[in-house]
Each structure stands twice: as structure tokens, then as C-alpha cells.
Structure 1
Amino acid sequence: MTTRRKPFGRTLCAMITPFTAAGTLDLEGAGRLAGRLVAEGCDGLVLNGTTGESPTTSDTEKAELITAVREAVGDGVPLVAGVGTADTRHTAELTLAAEKAGADGVLVVTPYYSRPPQEALEAHFRRIADVSGLPVMLYDIPGRTGTRIESETMIRLAGHPRIVAVKDCSYDLLGTQKVLAHTELAYYAGCDEHILALYAVGAAGCVSTVANAVPGHIAAILDAFDAGDTARATELQLRATPLIEAMMAAGLPGTVTVKALLGTLGLPAGPLREPLLPAARETSDRLRALHEELTAA
């Protein structure tokens, strides 16, 4: 099952976008954070995604972040740039800018709010795949966008030579398995609680938010499975569950909890941009305690 192609690597981190205390882009901090993530187990990074606060960064800032991270990690680390918007034309512009800035691929989320029907979704994704030479990772997250990329649509899109991967936050294991059974699309678990489950049925890896804080542990789950030690892989996934729940399922966006935790660890993070607000002190303290418990085990 793990022989499925991995166009962007296996363990990817949905990296936060660090800001300075004044709220401007912290390019030096982004480079340091990216270097740490790669050194500790990530073999690819996703920039300018939801966790990277893409709704509140400018087009110029998005390109600057890609360039800075590329300089920090070198040419051998796949960088996937989030370019998805609710506007096909704008998404195409961001795709071309990401290609120019040094990205290896683009992450294209389902257009949100307007809730396009499946025919329109398919046309949107094909338009973006045609606009540049970069491979495309589709982002299926109906809980945020209001629209699912249906399995039949995904299967048709798999025929496009540059649509190669999916970040899966659909919470539809049956639908995911159907696409895996009928296509060569590389699926990446976008929900940390599903990393091992999806990998076991043929996913290529994960795009993890929790990896911002524990990249080595996330990589170790997949390492154990690849080594044939499924019991160890299960143990590692379950040991991470308390931190995953606190970071991803406790009522706060992952961006908020990641920045709160990284701040306690002295790592580049900085403030959030509104409308997001910082986590309360007790939340930060709990995240730090869970982190220490996990990394000490």
C-alpha cells in the first residue's frame, strides 16, 4: 500500500506563517522554523494554507514567504503553496506567482461561499491545472468551504496530468477509499487523527498541522508503518491523540493553538492576524503540558 507515488514527499507540515510583534511578516523566523521542521522529520512543507493564515496575508507576502523558505531549506525539499480562493481568476494569478517564487506545487481549495456545483468545481480545478507547469494538490474540506468534491468528480479530475494529489479533510473514509481504488491520486491526510488510518489504506502521507510542534513524532508514525511495525505505528498515533485533540478539536482553529504552543517553546510564531485572537493562558499552559508529556515518553 505504501508504494503509491508521493509527489510531494510523505510527511508534510502545514506550516504557520510567523509574524513579528508588530504584525509584519517574519521572514527570518519563517526560515528558521522551516529549517527545524525539515531537520526533525518533515520532507515537505505546505505554505500559505489555512494554518498559514492565508486569508489575511497579501499576495506579495505569500510570494515573499515562498522565496524565504526556499532559500532556507534549499532545492531538495518540496514546497506546496496554498493558492486557493473563491475567485478562479485570482487563484490562477496566485498559481503563477507561486511558480515564479519557487514552489514545487500548489494546493487548491474548493472555492468557498459561492458553493459551485460539481461541474463548476471541475472546470475551476482544470483551469488552475492548465495555467502553469506546477502539479496540483486538491484540497477537499467541506466543513470549511461548504462544498464537497464528490468522488466521481475526483475520479474524473485524476485524468488531468497535473492533478496529482489530494489533501483530504472530507471525513468520508468510504469516499476516499473509492477514489484510491480507482485512481493513482496521492492522498494526504489533512486531519491529524486520520494520519495512520488513511496511510493504512493507501494514502501517500499527511499534511499535518500538529507537525509544527512535533514533526519527529508525526514522521515516526509513518516510519513505523513503513517498517511493518503496525503495533508501534498504532501506539505512536494513540500517544499523540491528547495533543491532537487539544490542538485540533478543542474549539479553536489549529493556527491559534499552534502559535500558542510554539510561543511557549520559544519558536518563531508571533501574533495572529484578526479576526483570530490569541489563546488564553490556560490553553497555552495545557498545550505545553501535553507537549512535554508526549515528547518525554
Structure 2
Amino acid sequence: MSLGPFGRTLAAMITPFTDAGRLDLDGAQRLATRLVDEGGCDGLVLSGTTGESPTTSDAEKEALVRAVVEAVGDRAIITAGVGTSDTRHTVELAQAAEKAGAHGLLVVTPYYSRPPQEAVAEHFRDIADAVGLPVMLYDIPGRTGTRIEPETMLRLAEHPRIAGVKDCAYDLLGSSRVLARTSLAYYSGCEELNLPLYAIGGAGYVSTVANVAGPQMRAVLDAHDRGAGAEAARLHQLAIPLVELMMGSGLPGTVTTKALLNALGAPAGPVRPPLRPAGREVTDGLLAAYETLVSSHAAPRGAAVSGG
């Protein structure tokens, strides 16, 4: 097992809010501690999509980094999401995150304006030039409207501070090409691809589901590292029902994650508009799938598992 520049088993952490909708820094520290000390996470990604970055202010983002680094910064690698559609604003957020103590930066492709590939590359170079931290590129064309093409990745890999990729492009062929020709650390950003990407040389994952099922997500990679391929596949398949409910049910992962965390009594709170909370029926289904997954891991292999 090798630890990538941002860790290996990363949670895309939600941002806890109070019932009144304000940033809950105490809750963020408690959740971060839980994810690192009990949840199998050696890295946390703050202020990503799951962290509701579109609806948190610059000051809130900086305060969140400071609070989480204070809570777990010596026991986990803290990566701060700083991506926006504006290069100047992204540079400002990157510099603020660095001053707040972040260990790395997650930078998403500029969205909505759909810049051409050379402009995309220049955007990422400008961010990396402005800071002294390793940068993880976030390739998620389904949300941004723009792909970081493999040839662009190859050029960006030459920058000394561009160190990794959060891969949500659903293109294992393209990812394989870049993995074969660069030292970029590839992290799966889609739970159903955690094991496949890891098996072809990926560094780990950045997982929304790890907010609630970190040990179960980590167990898949641990089994693979032991050389237990069939066991890794079995554990991967056990997680799919919960993954599908949380990430493929038509609701954003932030909504389903906060619903489940709230049901489990963990720090989460409400989502911010335009997101809306999950209903009781959805929450009950999430809780049942979660309990089935946990009990499946607790039961001896081959034993019948009830519930769910």
C-alpha cells in the first residue's frame, strides 16, 4: 500500500450547519474527528460539491479549513476545495486555504463558460503557480460541461505542484492512458469505480459515501492490497445498494448523506437552498441499506444477514 499525496481513503466531507442554517464549526470538528479516528479516512476533502461549496461564503470556507485542521490536521491530510468558474477568485480561495493550514487543494474545471482546452490548462497552471500546495484536478464534465481531456492531463502533469486527479469522467481508457504516462495520483470520485480504478493503478478514492460508511469503503481497498481480489470484489458489491441509494437515486449526494447522518445522530444539520431535505421515506430506505451493509461486514463470512 502506498499513500498518495492527498491520502488514500478520503471522505468528501459534508459541511455541517446549525438548525438555523449557520456554519457549525463545532459539528465540523466532531464529524472530522469521527471520520478520521473511527471512519477509516486518512484524508478529508472540504468544500467540494458534497460540502455545498456553491452556497458557502469565502469566509466560511476559510473558517472550515482552520477548524478541521485544528481538529485532525496531524492525523489526516486536509484538502480544500477552491474551484470556481473565475480564475482570479479561485486563486484568492487557494491562497486563503493555504494560509488557513490546508495540506492540498481540489480545483474543479471552470464551469458554465466552457473554456477550450488550452484555457482550461492555463486556469489550472495559474492556480498551481499561486500557491505552494499540491493540487488535485477535479474532472467532472457531467457537472461542469467541460472535460479535462487526457492530452491536457498529460501537459498539466509536467507542473511540479499538479499532483493528482479526482476522476469523475467515467472514462477508464482515458484514465489508463494518463496513469501509464504520468505520476499523477488518480482518485475515484464515483464509488462504483473505486475498485476498478484502484486495480489499474489509482491512488484511492474521494468518497461521499465515506461520510457514513468509511470503514466499509476502506475494506475494499484493504482487501485488494492483501491480494484478496475475490474478497475485494465481494465487499465492493456489498456496498453497491447503499451507493446506489445515496448517489444514483435522483437526489444529490449531499441531501442523502445529511439525511443519513442526521438519522444516525452525527453532525450534519440541514442543507442550504436550493437543495431541499430528503423525505422520511427516503431516509428510512437509506437507514435500512446502511444497517444492512454494516451488519454484512460484522457477520462472519457466509453467515446469513437479516434486515435491510
TM-score above 0.5, yes or no: yes
The CA deviation string for residues 16-74 of structure 1, in whole angstroms up to 9 with x for no partner, is: 00000000000001001000100120000000000000000000000000111111113
The CA deviation string for residues 269-294 of structure 1, in whole angstroms up to 9 with x for no partner, is: 00000000001110000000000000
Give the CA RMSD over aligned residues.
Answer: 0.8
CA distance in 2, matches of 1:201, 1:14: 22
- Contact 2:246–2:256 (8 Å) recurs in 1: yes
Q: Which amino acid aligns with 2:271?
A: L
Q: Which amino acid aligns with 1:29?
A: G
**Paired residue for 1:21?**
19
What secondary structure, in the 3-state scheme, does the structure 1 residue paired with 2:261 have?
helix
CA distance in 2, matches of 1:120, 1:173: 24
CA distance in 2, matches of 1:241, 1:74: 31
CA distance in 2, matches of 1:9, 1:287: 28
- Contact 2:14–2:254 (8 Å) recurs in 1: yes
Matched, 1:89 2:96: no
Matched, 1:202 2:179: no
Q: Which amino acid aligns with 1:281?
A: R
CA distance in 1, matches of 2:46, 2:133: 15
Q: 1:30 aligns with which of 28, 31, 34?
A: 28
What secondary structure, in the 3-state scheme, does the structure 1 residue paired with 2:202 have?
coil
Q: Which amino acid aligns with 1:256?
A: V
- After TM superposition, list the pairs within 5 Å mapping 1:159-198 onto structure 2: 159-198=158-197
**Paired residue for 1:216?**
215
Range with greater deviation from structure 2 (66-75 or 242-251)? 66-75
What secondary structure, in the 3-state scheme, does the structure 2 residue paired with 1:213 have?
helix
What is the CA distance between 1:170 and its match in structure 2?
0.2
**Paired residue for 2:97?**
98
**Paired residue for 2:299?**
none
What is the CA distance between 1:107 and its match in structure 2?
0.2
- After TM superposition, list the pairs within 5 Å mapping 1:58-73 onto structure 2: 58-73=57-72
- After TM superposition, list the pairs within 5 Å mapping 1:1-297 onto structure 2: 3=2, 6-40=4-38, 41-297=40-296
Q: How many residue pairs get matched? A: 295
What is the CA distance between 1:77 and its match in structure 2?
1.2
CA distance in 2, matches of 1:132, 1:147: 24
Q: Which amino acid aligns with 1:44?
A: G
The share of aligned pairs that are identical, in percent, is 68
What is the CA distance between 1:76 and its match in structure 2?
3.4
CA distance in 1, matches of 2:71, 2:107: 24
CA distance in 1, matches of 2:148, 2:196: 20
The CA deviation string for residues 190-238 of structure 1, in whole angstroms up to 9 with x for no partner, is: 0011000000000000000000001101111111111111111111100
Q: Which amino acid aligns with 2:281?
A: E
CA distance in 1, matches of 2:263, 2:243: 17
Name segments (4+ residues, structure 1) moved above 6 Å.
none
The CA deviation string for residues 86-130 of structure 1, in whole angstroms up to 9 with x for no partner, is: 000000000000001110010000000000000100000000000
What secondary structure, in the 3-state scheme, does the structure 1 residue paired with 2:32 have?
helix
| TM-score of the pair, normalised by structure 1 | 0.98
CA distance in 2, matches of 1:63, 1:74: 15
What secondary structure, in the 3-state scheme, does the structure 1 residue paired with 2:163 have?
strand
- Contact 2:36–2:75 (8 Å) recurs in 1: no
What is the CA distance between 1:75 and its match in structure 2?
2.2
CA distance in 1, matches of 2:230, 2:99: 44
Q: Which amino acid aligns with 1:13?
A: A
CA distance in 1, matches of 2:37, 2:197: 25
What is the CA distance between 1:8 and its match in structure 2?
1.1
Q: Which amino acid aligns with 1:122?
A: A
What is the CA distance between 1:9 and its match in structure 2?
1.0
**Paired residue for 2:306?**
none
Q: Which amino acid aligns with 1:21?
A: D
- Contact 2:263–2:283 (8 Å) recurs in 1: yes
CA distance in 1, matches of 2:133, 2:94: 8
The CA deviation string for residues 221-268 of structure 1, in whole angstroms up to 9 with x for no partner, is: 111111111111111100000000000001011000000111110000
Structure 1 unaligned segments of length 5 or more: list them.
none
